[in-house]
């Protein structure tokens, strides 16, 4: 991996999260113009983030919901 690509690779999350400064941003964008592989790499991280966000949630089983409420009622009685 080229040193330049490696440097980009370290900054990709900050770049995607809009947490890097303007100079870094411009540097990353200039590099992306000329390096398709870093573009692919960035896209793969962007996708990882997007996929994480839409992972399905497990429902809370009914017996867990009811035992939670029982525990909370006991706690309220105590206080």
**Site residues, another protein (CB under 8 A):** 1-2, 5-6, 9-10, 12-14, 17, 19, 36-37, 40-41, 43-45, 47-60, 64-65, 67-69, 71-72, 75-76, 79
Instruction: Select 16 or 27, whichever has its Cβ closest to another protein.
Output: 16
Backbone angles phi, psi at 61, to 5 degrees: -60, 145
Indicate the helix (H) or strand (E) that contains 15. helix 3-16
Q: In the bound complex, what is the minimum distance in angstroms from residue 17's beta carbon to another protein? A: 7
Sign of CA dihedral 68, 70, 71, 76: positive
Q: In the complex, what is the shortest distance from the CB of residue 70 to another protein, in angstroms, rounded to a whole number?
A: 10
- For another protein, the closer of residues 29 and 48 by Cβ is 48
Helices (H) and strands (E) in the chain, counts: 4, 0
């Amino acid at each position: 991996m080229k040193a330049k690509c490696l440097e980009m690779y370290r900054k990709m999350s900050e770049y995607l999260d809009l947490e890097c400064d303007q100079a870094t941003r411009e540097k990353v964008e200039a590099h992306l113009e000329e390096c398709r592989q870093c573009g692919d790499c960035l896209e793969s991280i962007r996708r990882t983030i997007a996929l994480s966000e839409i992972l399905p949630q497990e429902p809370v089983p009914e017996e867990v919901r009811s035992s939670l409420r029982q525990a909370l009622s006991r706690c309220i009685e105590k206080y």
